[in-house]
Structure 1
């Protein structure tokens, strides 16, 4: 059986990175430092976390929109009624926003 330490080992792959400079309001930066400190993170790591989190949400939304658009196109090829296609798409949207 594996040792508990071996099971929890995390392997991160390095990725190409580029340095970026941005202007942040002083009070926002101070708040960021406080939150980062409370999470035992550097402000840079917290900013990367926030950017990654927001980016994943936006990419997921874009994917959903593309998938819904493709679904509507397929339905339109198989169902003659535009009204029926619209009702199906609206039902799918209602199910995914719950």
Structure 2
């Protein structure tokens, strides 16, 4: 996740939207039991944390898939592994000492 996006996610004053979701009662009871054990003030912050974790994992995976697809396409177009590696290093800020 980009640093800018992470800063936005950590901003406590972000606008919130109320939603309605149907969840089995036993799941809610488990969430209520587990939330304080994990340091959450209630089950709703825990649910938001679970959603955020899953969303970040999927976003990272999808962003990674895009990069992998781009790399495969560049290779099919004859771009060398060395040039691809250098470009990735520049893009991620990890410059190599060639």
Q: TM-score, normalised by structure 1?
A: 0.64
| Cα displacement string for residues 19-56 of structure 1 (whole angstroms, at most 9, x for unaligned residues) | 11101001101000000021232111100100000000
Aligned residue for 1:49? 49
Aligned residue for 2:62? 62
Larger Rg: 1
User: Using the alignment, how far apart are the partners of 1:54 and 1:71 within structure 2?
Assistant: 26
The answer for unaligned runs of 5 or more in structure 2 is 1-9, 80-98
Q: Which has the higher contact order (CA 8 A, sep 6+)?
A: 2
User: Using the alignment, how far apart are the partners of 2:66 and 2:46 within structure 1?
Assistant: 30
| Cα displacement string for residues 44-70 of structure 1 (whole angstroms, at most 9, x for unaligned residues) | 110010000000000011011100000
User: Using the alignment, how far apart are the partners of 1:13 and 1:36 within structure 2?
Assistant: 19
* Matched positions, count: 69
Between 70-79 and 60-69, the greater mean CA deviation after superposition: 70-79
User: Using the alignment, how far apart are the partners of 1:24 and 1:35 within structure 2?
Assistant: 16
The answer for unaligned runs of 5 or more in structure 1 is 1-10, 80-98
